[in-house]
Structure 1
Amino acid sequence: MSTSPETLVTAAGRLLLPEPGSVSTLGPGLRARAAAVLLRMALDEALNAYWQRVTPSMTRIGKHRMLCLEWYAGHDTARRCRTTWAALSAACHYRTYELPPAPAEVHARLMEVTSLLAALRGRAGTNSATPKGDT
């Protein structure tokens, strides 16, 4: 069972900005990395939902769905998805020789993912029959 992208974004926001007075045993870097994982999952779920509405066979193809997004959702949305997904992927990986991602950096990605969720939701019905370049 999958969790909605909005729920994942909300959970990431709670990790980045814990409620006042709550005791957190996780350091800011670890919370930021965990939030990055949740945000990347939210973006993946949003892309799955987008392709499910546009052309269901695209949900099985993995990397190709990001490459084909430009033809269906437009250049700007596709570029933002690629760069956000790549930045979140880099933030998710633990490397002993690098510092963890900064909470402010991941918070900026949270805002971008929120914007992308709205863009992907809004574009789903517009180009369901033909790619953007063929109209």
Structure 2
Amino acid sequence: MKDDARELVSAAEALLRPGVGTAGTLSPGVRARAAAVLLRLALDQRLDDFWHGMAPGMTRVAKHRMLCLEAYTDRGTARRWRLTWSALSGVCHHRAPELPPMPAEIQARLLEVNALLDALDGAPTATPAVVIPAPVPPTGRTATPAVPAAGNLRAGASVPKPCPPPGRRVAPPVVGGP
């Protein structure tokens, strides 16, 4: 199997450590920004591969894919993934008044991307890490669904709003302005 994410990381590393005759062709800031783009693409590619194997219908919105990652990996990996992706995303966008990123900064991100790719390689491939059990109805009583079944809904009928879990209060509405 071809590993596109690792190839992108290798290309980013080649940009950060140019050969003897190629160092003068691009400035260090331009090379660092290009390497950041490649590293972010590597993260996106690996996340695409992960979700394709886990749930092919998963949305392509990066924020949703990263938020759901926490259920399938450990919390630390998911947080590091979001932090690294966000940092690289900020570096990728060119803004005229800002200085380009330092190659040492992107080199540190490269090491983090390698660690994240390794962590996602070791993630489970079938079940989420967090399993939420179904509620058990009290004995002697049958559970009634909070929302009527789809077949029982008719046009114009209202659907009940979700309520807070037992023991929690709803926050009072804010009255007045600042």
**TM-score computed with the length of structure 2 as normaliser:** 0.69
- Correspondence for 1:121: 121
| TM-score (structure 1 length as normaliser) | 0.90
> Does residue 110 of structure 2 align to residue 110 of structure 1?
yes
Alpha-carbon displacement from aligned partner over 1:53-84 (angstroms, at most 9, x marks no partner)? 11111153432111111111110110010000
Residue pairs, 1:36-51, within 5 angstroms:
36-51=36-51
Q: Which is bigger in relative contact order (C-alpha 8 A, separation at least 6)?
A: 1
Structure having the higher helix fraction is 1
Higher gyration radius (CA): 2
- Counterparts of 1:74 and 1:94, CA distance in 2: 33
Structure 1, unaligned runs of 5 or more: none
Number of residue pairs aligned between Structure 1 and Structure 2: 131
Paired AA for residue 129 in structure 2: K
Answer yes or no: is 1:29 the counterpart of 2:26.
Answer: no
Distance in 2, matches of 1:85 and 1:60, equals 15
Give 1:133's aligned residue. 130
- Percent identical residues: 54
Alpha-carbon contact 1:36-1:88 (below 8 Å) kept = yes
Contact 1:53–1:124 (CA<8 Å) still a contact in 2? no
Structure 2 segments unaligned to the other structure (5+ residues): 133-178
| 1:1-135 equivalence runs, <5 A | 4-125=4-125, 128-129=126-127, 131-134=128-131
